[in-house]
Amino acid sequence: MQLRPLVIDGAWELTPVQHGDGRGLFAEVFKGDLLAEAIGHRLDLAQVNLSVSAAGVLRGVHFADVPPGQAKYVTCASGAILDVIVDIRVGSHTFGTYDTVLLDDVDRRAVYLSEGLGHAFCSLADGSTVTYLCSTGYNPTGEHGINPLDPELAIDWPTTARDGTPLNYELSAKDTAAPGLSAARESGLLPVYDDVTDYLRSLAT
């Protein structure tokens, strides 16, 4: 497995080696020791989520209060998504920026994003099936969102699906009503970079 750090500190792209023959293929899509070496501690798996999305569905930008936050290891077993990691940590030198990775059933890449980062994706095919390994369970009072179409974030969402047809974006009512980046910051919703760094340091001890 190849591991590549993204432009946002605390996020990585992971590409497995695929072994195929006439029967199909095999790949190691998660390796705990390799990930732990990169992030400085083992991923404490608390919950596994699965979503299935039609083409054009936007999910996110989702994040959780730190501590404890919620680290995620995201893969796309079927279909394709453009995965987006957003730095929403107030005080970070890359605050407000994002990076993207294509996750699909061809290269079978994964992304890992640490606590304190925002996560979103756009489905590029009907039936895109995404699995999230999460470090903490669902906490409705500690989880928040930023509107993925916020002009300040200016995420360059794809306009065509994997089959070349135009995409019509579809958001949940919750994501549609989510504040923009500045409003979330002014209301105190966003994690603070130094607090996140201190928390991550405590996980490594």
**Cα(124)–Cα(139) distance, rounded to whole angstroms?**
28
DSSP state string for 63-84:
EE-TTT---EEEEEEESEEEEE
Distances in Å between the alpha carbon of 65 and those of 52, 75, 157, 185?
25, 23, 26, 13
Query: Which of the following is catalytic: 19, 41, 73, 132?
Result: 132
Structural domains present in the chain: 2-188 (2.60.120.10)
Residue 62 is a catalytic residue:
yes
Question: Are 83 and 74 in contact, with CB atoms under 8 Å apart?
Answer: yes
Query: Which of the following is catalytic: 19, 41, 62, 98?
Result: 62
pLDDT tens track, the chain, 205 positions: 999 999 999 999 999 999 999 999 999 999 999 999 999 999 999 999 999 999 999 999 999 999 999 999 999 999 999 999 999 999 999 999 999 999 999 999 999 999 999 999 999 999 999 999 999 999 999 999 999 999 999 999 999 999 999 999 999 999 999 999 999 999 999 999 999 999 999 998 7
Residue 193 is a catalytic residue:
no
**Cα(189)–Cα(104) distance, rounded to whole angstroms?**
32
The residue written with tokens 């994040």 in the block is: 63
